[in-house]
Amino acid sequence: MTEVNRVLAGLGLAAAISTGILMPQMAVAADDTIKVGILHSLSGTMAISETTLKDTMLFLIDQQNKKGGLLGKKLEAVVVDPASDWPTFAEKARELISVDKVAAVFGCWTSSSRKSVLPVFEELNSLLFYPVQYEGEESSRNIIYTGAAPNQQAIPAVDYLMKTEGVKRFVLEGTDYVYPRTTNKILEAYLESKGIAKEDILINYTPFGFSDWQTEVSKIKTFGSAGKKTAVVSTINGDANVPFYKELGNQGLKATDIPVIAFSVGEEELAGLDTKPLVGHLAAWNYFESIDTPANKKFISAWHTFIKNDKRVTNDPMEAAYIGFNAWVKAVEAAGSTDTDKVIDSIVGVSVPNLSGGYATVMPNHHITKPVLIGEIQGNGQFDIVQQTASVVGDEWSDFLPDSAPLISDWRKPMACGNFNTKTGLCGGTTKAVAAK
Amino acid sequence: MPSFRLLPIALLLFGICFGFAAPAFAQASNIADLVNALGVGGFPEREAAIKALVDSHDPHVNEILQELNDGRLFVSSDGGRVYLQGGTADAPTYADPITGAVAADVDPDTMGKVKINNAVRTLLSSAMSQLTLRSPDRAARLAAARDLLKDADPANLALLDTALAAETDATVKSTMEAARAVIMLKTSASDADKKAAIDTIAARGNKDALTILTTALASAPADLKPAVQADIDAITRNLQVWDVAQNVWYGLSLGSVLLLAAIGLAITFGVMGVINMAHGEMVMLGAYTTYVVQETVRSVAPGLLDYSLAFAVPAAFLFTALVGVAIERGIIRWLYGRPLETLLATWGLSLILQQAIRTVFGPTNRQVINPTWMSGSFDFGGLAITQNRLWIVVFAIVVFVILQLVLNRTSLGLQMRAVTQNRRMASAMGIRTPFVDAMTFGLGSGIAGMAGVALSQIDNVSPNLGQNYIIDSFMVVVFGGVGNLWGTLVGALTLGVANKFLEPYAGAVLGKILILVFIILFIQRRPRGLFALKGRAVEQ
């Protein structure tokens, strides 16, 4: 019996030891990683743009893990597909935060998708990094906007047109949704404040995925034949761009006659086009692949190695994702925790290098500082940078819209308000501030 | 003392020699400096350097300006020397732009492109046009004359006059005369000369003339103003007439795109009654076939790249027809008579096809090049007609005619029509209706594939290509009358033209809404569309 007992006891001990060892191991396995949510459409109409950002995030997480992870833990990406459907964005965001318990989410492209997930992030108190240029008029405690606000893209772009190209007449051509409409409203107010007459501004909208540009392009030509130098400011988005540029090329509208400056056309969009007839047309961004800095060269070559394709281009939202991710890493390191409240407190003022040789700082309004670059399209599908400004602070509430001019945002304590009205001295601002959906 | 008398002559000769030799000598040493100056400073400095280069009248200038325009001039980051880039993208070589001698000791990493912006580009084209105005090549002269017309710098007047005297080609000459007239308006010439100049410009009667006259109106002498205004009004009236014609052309061109997209559906939906939501994906597959054919041609026979579309048309037809037959045999034949299930199944299929393409080719657009014979535009009276649209109209007509022939002159066509009009009777007459069904669906899909070849020329080649056309296609087929190809033709062209007439007034968004409302009302009135098909089967 003693023999049996001893064996049993041994077994018990072994069991105790093994569970004792295993249990913490399991706990460690769960505790050993920090989960990061990636919320980009991998199917549907937006997949064309967002799939690249998903790959970029995986690339950045992979690089961070090679450097030893974060707070001694490995990062683990949780990828979900909201399928270009705005309600699905909210649903998937909720899933990432409540079920997967991610520390932060990187995602969204269209303003519609951001507006759809915003209440979820505020309700569940999590953190979203939004990497795309947008129309402004928003500042949430739970979102860090690493893309350009209108004053970091649209306004410097028309300044360039007026100053360097001597443009006196503007066509504001856009796709019919919230970003172009708000941006054009701001631009119209700005141009009028600069002395451009109302009859010298033509605003025109086309539906999503518009493909028959014959009439529109000939309308632009007619508007441009009034004897004043004319330019087109394009907020045309997504699929509609390729047929637009093809029509421009075929109708022989040269950049030296009527230049087109675009806010949504980057290296990715030009990859599907023969750019030889388009040389000299412009784009305004905060990053171009052709930036000649050691940091950018290193980024591009690392990206090519990761994606195993040296033809893949880089673009502005990728740089914004890069800045956002690094800012989050730095803020987490400073806070010593991935807790949302602690990270939100520590992220304001965090400075990380950007790819154009400077630094991007997260401001109290949860927007970042960015230089503004104007590029001209070249025959090889790249941009030549023809102007670069110093860093500009993102202005969330436009100074050129009467309702939002008195509003400011400062998420530092004790103010901690996204729409403080400097006239009334109240947080809550105005309910009328551009009903951006 | 003869020698003394000769002295002044000798001095004179010496002076002449020296006088000629000195600038020549200075020129030879300067040209390298002038070229190197292109790489220094910002855009304003570059413009000054170009002007200095042009003033040197060196024989190399035109070549160097062309290289600068093409972005092949590079500047070293240290010494400010400008080189000409050659070789391949991976292994560039750098040569002296004047002598062409390759410099061996240049590190590509330290070289930066000599950039130009639109202002410099304009200056370059005007500078080059001054130099090519008397080129033996007619196209070069015409381009130069057009540039001068656009730029119209009074400094070029003398140059233009010499060129005009030597010019023999009528088109080039009239362009030069117009350029001369524009320049005259800018100079302080007499009112009579200016009047003549205004007449010359007004005689051109196009949009460019309108632009020039509108600009000239402000600075014209007071007594000429009424004449200018009258010319402007006359041109505006004339252009309004042409505008109508232009809208008709735009409408026909949009209509032919709609026709191409819808005609395959007119067969599968119209003839067979299958609600095929994956029709757009057949168009998309056709566009991707075009891309694959193009890449194959590029690697196998690069010389034929301009004609890859000719191979793409049959390839796209065969491939999508095969896919269509497979879909019919695999899915649709199990669902005949159950429209709702067919709709859901083909909708699911369209998503599967889209995602499959996204997985294979990636989510970004693929580049299908426009062949040179399909690029650019030409003027026909006051109409600006783009080559690619013209070819698509021609292609749509050819496809329509061939399809009519197939349906009306072949036994397969006869069987198809028989099955459509009365399936059971056709079956009783010994027609293998399942085979005819598969062939019909294959034909419809194949034609959608050919539409994809045409659409690859004007639209994105992306997985979403088909989605943009599916609603329009159904609209055309329902409007034209189910089961009738002539109905589809008339429906497509009507919708195209109506859309293009609404667009300038209502805008693209509202125009589209108005068209939709119109179709809904029309269908209320005539549920069978424009051309209703008569037959017993229809009553079922």
pLDDT in tens, A244-269: 998 998 888 889 889 999 998 999 88
pLDDT value, residue B382:
76
Tell me how close the Cα of B210 comes to any Cα of chain A, in angstroms: 7
Asked whether A201 and B504 are in contact (CB, 8 A), the reply is: no
Task: Check residues B243 and A147 and name the one with the higher pLDDT.
Answer: A147
Sorting pLDDT into bands at 50, 70 and 90, what band is A5?
low
What count of other Cβ atoms lies within 10 Å of the Cβ of residue B146? 18
Place of tokens 């000629």: B20
Nearest Cβ partner for B507 among A205, A212, A274: A205
Residue A429 confidence (pLDDT): 58
Q: Which two tokens stand for residue B151?
A: 């730029």
Of A212, A215, A386, the CB nearest to B117: A386
Average pLDDT taken over every residue of chain B: 85
Percent of chain A past pLDDT 70, that is, above it, reads 91
Residue tagged 């413009």 (tokens): B47
Q: How far apart are CA B481 and CA B79, in angstroms?
A: 74
Residue A348 in this model has a pLDDT that exceeds 60: yes
Q: Which residues of B touch A221 (CB under 8 A)?
A: 207
B268 vs A2, residue with greater confidence = B268
φ, ψ of residue A359 to 5 degrees: the values are -125, 145
In the block, residue with structure tokens 């090329």 = A249
Helices B387-409 and B485-525, packing angle to 10 deg: 100
pLDDT number for residue B5: 56
Q: Does A85 touch chain B (CB under 8 A)?
A: no
Is the Cβ–Cβ distance between B497 and B252 less than 8 Å?
A: yes
pLDDT at A231: 96
3-state secondary structure B466-498: CHHHHHHHHHHHHHHCCCCHHHHHHHHHHHHHH
Ordered by start, the domain boundaries in chain A are: 151-285, 406-437
Token representation of residue A300: 């591009």
How long a stretch of residues is chain B? 540
User: What is the Cα B113 distance to its own chain's centre?
Assistant: 29
* pLDDT of A15 strictly over 70: no
Nearest-angstrom CA–CA distance, B112 and B103 = 16
pLDDT for res B79: 63
Rounded to a whole number of angstroms, the distance from the CA of B100 to the nearest CA of chain A is 24
CATH classification code of A151-285: 3.40.50.2300
In the DSSP assignment, the letter for residue B301 is -
Helix (H, G, I), strand (E, B) or coil at A26: helix
Sign for the CA dihedral angle at A141, A263, A303, B366 comes to: positive
**Alpha carbon distance B228, A222 (integer Å):** 19
pTM for this predicted structure: 0.84
pLDDT computed for residue A432 by the predictor: 39
Beta bridge partners of B378: B385
| Mean of pLDDT over chain A | 88
Paired with A76 in beta bridges are A35
Report, as ranges of residue numbers, the positions in chain B whose pLDDT lies below 50: 1-3, 12, 14-28, 536-540
Helices (H) and strands (E) in chain A, counts: 12, 17
Q: Mean pLDDT throughout A13-19?
A: 45
The residue to which tokens 């450097």 are assigned:
A67
> What are the chain B neighbours of A226 within 8 Å (beta carbons)?
211, 214
Among residues A193, A63, A39, the alpha carbon closest in space to that of A120 is found at: A39
* pLDDT tens track for A172-192: 999 998 899 999 999 999 999
Nearest to B508 among A207, A243, A250 (CB): A207
- Looking at per-residue pLDDT, the higher value among A415 and A334 belongs to A334
Two tokens at B258?
């709609």
Q: The tokens of B420 are what?
A: 């459509």
Q: Do B376 and A250 touch (CB under 8 A)?
A: yes
pLDDT tier, A35 (very low <50, low <70, confident <90, very high otherwise): very high
| Interface A-B: count of C-beta contacts within 8 A | 156
Higher pLDDT, B193 or A362: A362
pLDDT category of residue A346 using cuts at 50, 70 and 90: very high
The pLDDT of A369-382, averaged and rounded, is 93
pLDDT score of A194 more than 80: yes
On whether any CB of chain B is under 8 Å from the CB of A243, the answer is yes
Q: Which phi and psi angles does B38 have, rounded to 5°?
A: -65, -30
pLDDT at B136: 81
